[in-house]
Amino acid sequence: NAGVTQTPKFQVLKTGQSMTLQCAQDMNHEYMSWYRQDPGMGLRLIHYSVGAGITDQGEVPNGYNVSRSTTEDFPLRLLSAAPSQTSVYFCASSPRVTGTLGSNQPQHFGDGTRLSIL
Amino acid sequence: DAKTTQPTSMDCAEGRAANLPCNHSTISGNEYVYWYRQIHSQGPQYIIHGLKNNETNEMASLIITEDRKSSTLILPHATLRDTAVYYCIVRVSAGGTSYGKLTFGQGTILTVHP
């Protein structure tokens, strides 16, 4: 039972380079999201998706793109890396339960990608 | 989402109960209280959540005051492996195209010592 899998675990980039952080979940969860965590701070939401083909911005979306072509995958793209994007990135997923109260299901997190940009 | 206030750090002796408080005085009627923890270098781990009733699972108990303005997470028999940052979060239930996002604050650093 893999849960939420993030790759790579570590990455070093040069300023201006692009890369894609991968996130995959095998729990058939509708909701997926990306957070970043900077030293001494809590997690901040970058982008999220409520289902395949649907994405929206979180609180710190600038410099990042996402797409959701399948339920399982939710990649995060850095188009032109900047040193300010040095951080630990976490992907999370949760199920969507149909009902009058919506979904209060907890989110499951991956183990993170540690990204350094020089 | 309502803002939460937690102590910056707490200590607990191994084998004793750890009681972590959280204030959420502006919580709305449709907001749940969630607790997550983050052990060093790992992703956040879900612990427990509740709306207005006390909850218990294999990891912890959650006590929510009657006015819902504060709550306490209880780890009944803390171990060294419970040393982590504990986050109290209030979150609107997700529904339709509304994503019930989590807003993480600074959390409480719990240190369990021998």
Mutate which: B42, B102, B103, vs A, most A CBs within 10 A: B102
Mutate which: A59, A98, A107, vs B, most B CBs within 10 A: A107
Res B101: pLDDT: 73
Res A104: pLDDT: 66
Nearest-Cα residue of chain B relative to residue A112 = B43
Tokens for B10, please give them. 């707490």
Contact (CB, 8 A) for A51 and A34: no
Question: pLDDT by residue (tens digit) across B45-98?
Answer: 999 999 888 999 999 999 999 999 999 999 999 999 999 999 999 887 665 555
Res B100: pLDDT: 65
Quick one: DSSP state of residue B53? S
B5 pLDDT more than 70: yes
Q: Is A106 an 8 Å CB contact of chain B?
A: yes
* Residues near A47 by beta carbon (within 8 Å), at least 6 away in sequence: A33, A34, A55, A56, A57, A58, A61, A64, A65, A66, A76
Distance from B41 to chain A by nearest Cα, in Å? 8
pLDDT tens by residue, chain A, 118 residues? 579 999 999 999 999 999 999 999 999 998 899 999 998 778 899 999 988 999 999 989 999 999 999 999 999 999 999 999 999 999 999 887 655 444 567 889 999 999 999 9
Res A19: pLDDT: 95
| Backbone angles phi and psi of A84, in degrees to 5 | -65, -15
SS3 A78: strand
Distance from A18 to chain B by nearest Cα, in Å? 24
Q: Is B44 an 8 Å CB contact of chain A?
A: yes
Contact (CB, 8 A) for A42 and B105: yes
Tokens for B100, please give them. 């019930």
Nearest partner of A107 among B49, B4, B21, judged by Cα: B49
Res A94: pLDDT: 87
